[in-house]
Amino acid sequence: MNPNKHVILYHPRYDPPDSGSHPCAPLSLLYLADALGKAGFAWTIVDAQVEPDAIDRLRGLADDALAVGITSMTGYQIQGALEAAQAVRDVNPDVPLLWGGWHPSLDPELTAQDPLVDVVVRGPGEETLVELLQRRLDGHDWVGVAGTTICRDGEVVSAPDRPFNGLNPNRNLPFDKLHMDRYGGRRVAGDDFGANFSFAEGQPFPYTSSCGCPYRCRFCAASKVYKRKWHALPVDKTLDELEELHRRYGIEVVFFVDPEFFINADRAEGIMQGILDRGLNIIWKAQVRPEHIVRLGRARMELAYRSGCRQLEIGTESGSPSMLQMIQKDSDPAKAISSAAILREVGIIGQYNLIFGFPYETERHVAESLEFAAELKRVNPDCLLPMFYFTPHPGVPLMTEARECGYEPPRSLREWSRMRWSYSEPVMPWIRRPRRLKDRILRTIVFYLPLAFPGEVTRGTLKHVRSRMRRLPDASWMWPVHMLARLRVKLGYYGLPWEWRVFNWVRG
């Protein structure tokens, strides 16, 4: 190993060690590693998710490294990134600390001001990283390198953005350098596809065939990083990588973490047909907007099922037309209802994500979203309705409204590292009665709707309701509560929830 050209790439944990979360393959570092290798640099990935001695290993490698690259998302991961940076600085004060990833890209000025940050790489960093390293070898300054932000003598200097030309179709991701047996991707629980995609029981293997998004959703940061442009790998390259993952590494469960898998219907069809033609025995899920399911239609969604699609994560966000307009989702709840009917016909589980607690959200907005959730369940009792609460990340357009409603974002990288969000808790200052709001939403979605429209879902508080209602002892209490739940849905009234209180009391 040539120490003059050796680069360390460090991936902190996403969550605390006692969180129970599963490791997620560090794809972003693989992209960087591929670019470094093609440019003639040696590299080592250190992943704190799967290496209990990651910090000690980092110290051992940092003594003669050319540079250390650290990735980070907003939240707990920043804490691990700072710990790693301090460990490197203690061993080798002269090695540059290069920060990249979502948080530094969205809040580069505050990030660059931290003493443990030498340069921030904004956005996709393959070309930027290679240029920075080559300049270091040549003895040239880093100020002015496109896509970087640097703090010099107390002044933050941001160079222009680096144009992004898309995912490299000639990339050769070094999966063999990862602990591939620790990142999931294996089937669990037989045909219980909910468990396979739960991230708690199954943990699908993440894979990216495209990046960026042309939409303008104001709660999302992708538009800032990718300038509302979509970039995709060719169909054959996508299939080659999927085949390598399946045949060489035994990956059976895949999550396409593309922001929107079905933007190009012909490309999606080519990938799905290719999975069948190559005999890849995988099951998969992807992220999609509901109108794209409707646009593809039943025939193509049947192809999706035959190719192994068993679940789709659908960005509905809200059932309130006025709230959708405020967040600029540019989506129609009626299309989501139509998509639920199509998925029921073809057998794919639809996971319709709902976000509550947006700035300026009113009781009416919440009621409209709950009515929308009820209609989804009526059309497709097997759909999933995960609930989230809005949390403003740096760089998202809705930060303006969040500030107007009393939110004060952290003022340094250290403060961001201490932020502990739970997207299942309403904690924003504009929510006046958070416990009441949470209980109202929770009892409606996880109790009344599953009982009003019995399905066979395998995740949530109530599972396999449809089959349990056919046998004792469950039928003795489920049928009466089922009739009451149907009446509540018809009236749109979920107050005085004595059934819910008794259920929780019995459950302990």
Task: Order the strands of the 119-121 sheet from edge to edge.
Answer: 42-47, 6-11, 67-71, 97-100, 119-121, 148-152, 155-158
Residue closest to 425 by CA, chosen among 392, 460, 373, 388: 388
Phi, psi of 206 (to 5 degrees): -75, 140
Which residue, 329, 340, 180, is CA-closest to 247?
180
Closest CA to 149 of 134, 136, 165, 132: 132
User: Which residues touch 439 (CB under 8 Å, ≥6 apart)?
Assistant: none
Burial class (CB within 10 angstroms; exposed 0-12, middle 13-18, buried 19+) of 139: exposed
Angle between helices 290-306 and 333-346 (to 10 degrees): 10
Tokens representing 352 are 């319709």
For CA atoms 453, 458, 460, 461, the dihedral sign is: positive
Full set of structural domains in the chain with CATH: 3-155 (3.40.50.2300), 184-431 (3.20.20.70), 443-508 (no CATH)
Residue 2: the pLDDT is: 53
CA-wise closest residue to 82 among 43, 115, 128, 120: 115
CA gap 61, 165 in Å, rounded: 33
| C-alpha to C-alpha distance for 466 and 456, rounded to whole angstroms | 6
Partnered with residue 9 across adjacent β-strands are 45, 69
Structure tokens at 398: 């809705």
CB 130 within 8 A of CB 101: no
Phi (first) and psi of residue 34, to 5 degrees: -60, -45
Class of residue 216 by CB neighbours under 10 A (exposed 0-12, middle 13-18, buried 19+): middle
pLDDT of residue 370: 97
Distances (CA, A) of 208 to 25, 49, 96, 162, 285: 11, 20, 29, 21, 12
Please give the chain's pLDDT, 508 residues, in tens: 455 689 999 999 998 888 778 899 999 999 999 999 999 999 999 999 999 999 999 999 999 899 999 999 998 999 999 999 999 999 999 999 999 999 999 999 999 999 999 999 999 999 999 999 999 999 999 999 999 999 999 999 999 999 998 999 999 999 999 999 999 999 987 777 777 887 666 789 999 999 999 999 999 988 888 989 999 999 999 999 999 999 999 999 999 999 999 999 999 999 999 999 999 999 999 999 999 999 999 999 999 999 999 999 999 999 999 999 999 999 999 999 999 999 999 999 999 999 999 999 999 999 999 999 999 999 999 999 999 999 999 989 999 999 999 999 999 999 999 987 778 899 999 999 999 999 999 999 999 999 999 999 877 789 899 999 999 999 999 999 999 999 999 999 999 999 999 999 998 7
The answer to whether residues 275 and 243 touch, using CB atoms and an 8 Å cutoff, is no
Q: Which residues contact 335 (CB under 8 A, 6 or more apart)?
A: 290, 291, 294
